[in-house]
Amino acid sequence: SHHYIKYFQEAKAKNEKFSITLDEWVSSRRRRYMNINVHGKTANQLNLGLIRISGSCNAAKVLSTVTEHLKAFNLSFENDIVSTTNDGASVMVKYGRECPADVQLCLNHGLHLAVYDTFYFQNQKTYDDRNYDGENELEHIENNEDEFGGDADNENLSLSEDEEDGEEVSESVTVATILNTVRTIVKFFKLSTVRNDILQAKIVNEIGHELILELDVKHRWNSIQPMLHKFLMVQKPIEEALKELNASHLFLGIDVNVLKDLCSILKPIELTALALGRKDANLITAKGAIQFLFSKFDSVLRDGNSSDSVALIRNLKDNIRNRLCSRENKELNSFLLCLLQQKVPTKEDIDCGTRLLNRLYPPKLPESTDDDLSQDNDICVSNTNENDLEKELAYCKEVERI
């Protein structure tokens, strides 16, 4: 920590500002911790260590805990921290509203939850960030990782009006059944060394080397694509092994076209997540990555092999759009769009730009001395104030010109 404090002091002397990212972590001993990372201009990421959280933790407690921990490194929200990024649990959303810094909810986490909503919630039940009771979503998923397709927490789930009429539910049940069948087959071989040996012998004859099947987990959405990819690679050996083991009934109901469509759309999601997680990513590059993803969605929808996969992809697209829209910082996006397209700024854009400018480059007050009481220095101070007003007027004109 001593080296971090020294680094922050040197960076602050150069008027450098920082941003922070927060996340909650639960250990194997079921202890909760808050993780704080600091991002600056000359350092990509500095971890300030884990903060133990005891008992419930509301927004006020999160803010005070983070503030005190930053103070230990001589950092403050008012003078040093420009923005904060965190997940979309309601307690963190409220923390963002009360925090002096600008808040940007994690878009990557929104992607994760959208895929989770689509593939793991039975009957397409979803929970809204705004209605979530404050527990961390990833912890909520990890607690139920072995219950594929089940309702993890009915208290945090709500059905939309369209889902209540049963139409979207019936369209998605088929795909959910196919995914559960794939998981059943993977477990069938993974849980028995004898059955796996039979399968591996047939895989070697087919592709020339062994290939171990993978099983997806709820708290790692990107594990779905590797599971399906390997399953499709050795589809024929799997069918032969099941037939030899008198378990051909396990393969009934699997639509290979649906699995191919799922693989084709999960890969662009993975690429989008990687683009959002780059060290040099920003809101502009994030917007481009999301547009790339939606264009891939449209392409797969045009070339869909079955009505079931088309219905699922539409639902996935809607879930991603809803999740990302709920995490959008409209004020910042509007300001960035105004700068990029050189539009006439609105009052909200000017206020946002002024606030950001003041946070990045706070005005310095003139240092006072004992001689300031003299008349000559009073005149100098008066002239300084006039110069400051002229600079402020010129700045306002420059903003209006932009």
What string of pLDDT tens digits covers the 402 residues of the chain? 788 888 899 888 888 889 999 988 888 888 899 999 998 877 668 889 889 988 888 899 999 999 999 999 999 998 889 889 988 888 888 998 899 888 889 998 888 888 888 887 644 443 333 333 333 434 443 333 333 333 333 333 332 333 333 344 444 457 778 888 999 999 999 999 999 999 999 999 999 999 999 998 877 777 888 899 999 999 999 999 999 999 999 998 788 888 888 888 888 888 898 888 887 788 888 888 998 899 888 887 777 656 666 788 888 889 999 998 888 888 887 888 788 777 788 888 888 888 877 777 766 655 555 554 444 444 343 444 445 444 444 544 454 444
Q: Which amino acid is at 242?
A: L
- Residues 180/149, Cβ–Cβ less than 8 Å: yes
pTM above 0.75, yes or no: no
Other beta carbons within 10 angstroms of residue 26's beta carbon come to 15
Helix (H) or strand (E) holding 51: strand 46-53
Token couple for 19? 């941003």
- Residues 182/248, Cβ–Cβ less than 8 Å: no
CB contact set of 332 (below 8 Å; sequence gap of 6+) = 102, 104, 283, 352
Backbone angles phi, psi at 319, to 5 degrees: -65, -40
Q: How far is Cα 119 from Cα 265, in angstroms, rounded to an integer?
A: 13
Q: Which amino acid is at 198?
A: I
Token couple for 214? 């993978």
CB contact set of 72 (below 8 Å; sequence gap of 6+) = 1
- Determine the 3-state secondary structure of 22 from DSSP: strand
The number of angstroms, rounded, from the C-alpha of 153 to the middle of its chain's C-alpha atoms is 21
